[in-house]
Amino acid sequence: MELIKHKIMKIPLIKPYITESIKQRVCDVLDSGYLTEGPVTREFENKLKEYLGCDYLHSVTSATTGLEVALRALEIGPGDEVIVPDYTYPATASVIAIVGAKAVIVDVSKEDMLLNFDSLEAAINKNTKAIIPVSLFGAPLDYERLNAIKEKHNLYIIEDAACSIGAIYKGIKVGNQADITVFSLHPRKFVTTGEGGIVTTNNKNWGDWINSYKHFGMDMTGASREGIHFNIIGTNYKLTNIQAAVGLGQLENIDELLNRRVQLANNYKKLIKNFNKINLPVVLDPKPNCQHSFQTYIVYVEDRDRVMSEMRKKGIEVQIGSYSLHMHKAFNDNSQIEIIGDLKNSKWCFNHALALPLYNDLTFELQEVIINELNSCL
């Protein structure tokens, strides 16, 4: 055991999947001299579109800018309201203020950390234009409930699926259910380009508008640079060939990478059954024909901050889950933010959620030590 402890005193929270083949892809791009968006980016987009099964897919500089272009594509702006969960990364709500609309923040359900449907419906009014539900940590959303609310109130759904590449709801991959879906390619995701994001839709008009907006407002049908026209005011949200080369290498092994995360998650669950002071969100029990993508493996523990500190002292990197937006200055006393209710479930999730190490070459042996060490802190 002492030898095992010595070996594991540097267990990271994440470890990006970077092989020699991926490094060579990046070197090939550098040698080509074509460093900005180009053919490698196109190949990456096309392969990911084929994997997800969506009609239109565009890479952008981050999930944050992806959410922004989604809102702009739906013409959401001043006078409009968009409902978001309180327990999420700040970008989910910040982008709403960035486009001039109002972010309406509501509570989540303590059991699964996802948007609470009762709180959602209570917040809808005549100014509500859209919902941004978050498939947090890779948990697929209940689209039967979401679509019923959407149709009843004539709303758009933009899914913040930052964590959810590979997740499945009732046999269909995430990226197809919402009006527009946004994924992240940050290094904590198992498909990463360092920084970057993906926007998907099955609506041609929105897809074409997004593609133009991220290219300075260009008419993207032009056959040559000399024939380009700028039809809208746009910006530069392009993903480079260098970044795409990293993502392409991971896409080649996406099924293997996802299956490994599922194996590791199932093993965590098996190990945790032996300890009654470590609890799991119900979302980790997938429904039929649904698949969690396990971007993060979350457990609930009491006295989370103390436990987190002790685990880090042991050399095991653990982290909080996400943030409760209402606890931060940026989302208080702001005319573009409205907080509804006491948000007690969100605060409970913030205080109890602990993210455990999860990466491709994590071993079952190390997982056992992680859980044993975690239990010793409780």
| Residue 228's CATH number | 3.40.640.10
Q: How many domains does the chain have?
A: 2
Q: Are 34 and 77 in the same domain?
A: yes
Q: Are 168 and 270 in the same domain?
A: no
Query: Tens digit of pLDDT for each residue in 71-94?
Result: 999 999 999 999 999 999 999 999
What pLDDT is stored for residue 187 in this prediction? 96
What pLDDT is stored for residue 6 in this prediction? 45
Q: Are 206 and 312 in the same domain?
A: no
What pLDDT is stored for residue 362 in this prediction? 98
d(C-alpha 245, C-alpha 230), whole Å: 29
Helices (H), ranges, the chain: 2-7, 20-32, 39-52, 63-73, 91-98, 117-123, 143-153, 204-213, 241-251, 254-272, 304-313, 344-352, 364-376
Q: Are 167 and 139 in the same domain?
A: yes
Among the candidates 228, 251, 274, a domain finishes at 251
Q: Are 133 and 201 in the same domain?
A: yes
How would DSSP label each residue in 259-316?
Answer: HHHHHHHHHHHHHHTT-TT-B--GGGSPPTT-B---SSEEEE-SSHHHHHHHHHHTTB
Q: Are 30 and 71 in the same domain?
A: yes
Q: Are 110 and 155 in the same domain?
A: yes
Domain region containing 320: 2-16+254-376
Query: Tens digit of pLDDT for each residue in 302-357?
Result: 999 999 999 999 999 999 999 999 999 999 989 999 999 999 999 999 999 999 99
CB 289 within 8 A of CB 170: yes
Among the candidates 189, 218, 251, a domain finishes at 251
Q: Are 50 and 142 in the same domain?
A: yes
What pLDDT is stored for residue 49 in this prediction? 98
pTM of the model: 0.96
Residues of the chain with pLDDT under 70: 1-9, 222-224, 285-286
363's CB contacts (< 8 A; 6+ apart) are none
Q: Are 40 and 97 in the same domain?
A: yes
How would DSSP label each residue in 193-216?
Answer: -SS-EEEEES-HHHHHHHHHHTBT
